[in-house]
Amino acid sequence: MTDLLRKPTASSGKVHDITPDNAKGAQCPDWGYVGFGLYHLQPGETVSEATRDREVILVLVEGKANLSCNTLDFGEMGDRMSVFEKTPPHCAYVPNDNAWSATATTQCVLAVCSAPGKGNYPAKRLGPDGITLTSRGKGQNTRYINNIAMEDRDVADSLLVTEVFTPDGNWSSYPSHRHDEDDYPNMTYLEETYYHRLNPGQGFGIQRVYTEDSSLDETMAVKDGDVVLVPRGHHPCGAPYGYELYYLNVMAGPLRKWRFKNDPDHNWIAQRDA
């Protein structure tokens, strides 16, 4: 199996635990920024983690939980029981040198997005207030975005986090683009993870991760709950007819800005649709 496709390791508890250390492999030799964890919790279950040198954004993907950290009690958060309700997610930011705790009040899916922290931002709620579902693209490239913590929200040292809903038969993260060079303002180096969900759940989506010189070229069938790592290169996604695709993106790198370049072969699509 490719290093880039990570399957859930369990059906309950912590089902994903991707760190800069265990992400490294033949296809991700330099991975050093993005971490992604995911919990499936039953009512009454409690989990906690120290942030150490990393900042964290907690996303209630589904269900409800009482969230707190050393410096702030967020109370009960979450309201959508299915991610495909598309309502703005309840999210919280916890800085480095802190610790957080979550106690599920319903069945819940809790995402833990992490990256290096510098201590410049306090703990705070990030959603649902301030998050509005917006459309992007045209025709079969239309998708819908919940921007949780992109650079227009000055809320984190390193993390960029967003949700994307791709209707059945459509494409997203398209035209193919890359952000794998530290060359601001032309491009920024950002590692990225995709946490995928399908509706109905027995479906699949397609994600390709490739470089223009084909030194990396992987095309993966992603199933409900899979995570894809994007260390470099272009990374478009497709949703087959009959199946809606959701993904939660986590990005981080040396600079908290999202600057990318389209694949020259497909840039005509962006120019036509501008």
What is the tens place of the pLDDT at every residue in 73-91? Answer: 999 999 999 999 999 999 9
pLDDT at 1: 65
pLDDT above 90: residue 177: yes
pLDDT above 90: residue 106: yes
Local confidence band at 37 (pLDDT 50, 70, 90 cut-offs)? very high
pLDDT above 90: residue 26: no
What mean pLDDT do residues 183-202 have? 98
Is the domain spanning 5-273 CATH 2.60.120.10? The answer is yes
pLDDT at 20: 95
pLDDT above 80: residue 107: yes
What mean pLDDT do residues 146-152 have? 96
> Which residue is listed with tokens 């954004």?
57
What mean pLDDT do residues 120-127 have? 96
Structural domain boundaries of the chain? 5-273
| Structure-block tokens of residue 105 | 């009040």
Average confidence score pLDDT of the chain = 97
